[in-house]
Amino acid sequence: MERIEAALFTDGVNDAVVRMPGRRFPGVLVQGDSLHILRSDVAEVVEACERGDLVEARESASFLLANLDALLARYEAALAEHEIPRPY
């Protein structure tokens, strides 16, 4: 394990916005449990599609999109607060 210093742009809770050394733009640190939940949400969409249940697939996908939109909004707010342009 290597110890480094990283720049923290938001509080250190789930989905912290951090910039690693040598990187121009910050990224989002996703905790392992949050990553597992995200993967489970995607699996729900896939499973509903495999069953042909498009209503459930759409609902699950909409929930997933809303969560990703919230994560992206947190990221963009941190960039704006620190006057960093978006990398996209």
Q: pLDDT digit string (tens) for 47-66?
A: 999 999 999 999 999 999 99
Region 24-49: mean pLDDT is 96
Give the sign of the dihedral formed by CA 34, CA 35, CA 41, CA 44.
negative
pLDDT for the residue 12: 79
Q: What is the pLDDT of residue 14?
A: 85
The whole-angstrom separation of Cα 15 and Cα 42 is: 18
Q: What average pLDDT does the chain have?
A: 96
pTM of the model: 0.89
The span from the CA of 38 to the CA of 68, in Å, is 9
pLDDT band at 82 (very low <50, low <70, confident <90, very high): very high
Residues 6+ apart with CB under 8 A from 11: none
Q: What is the pLDDT of residue 5?
A: 95
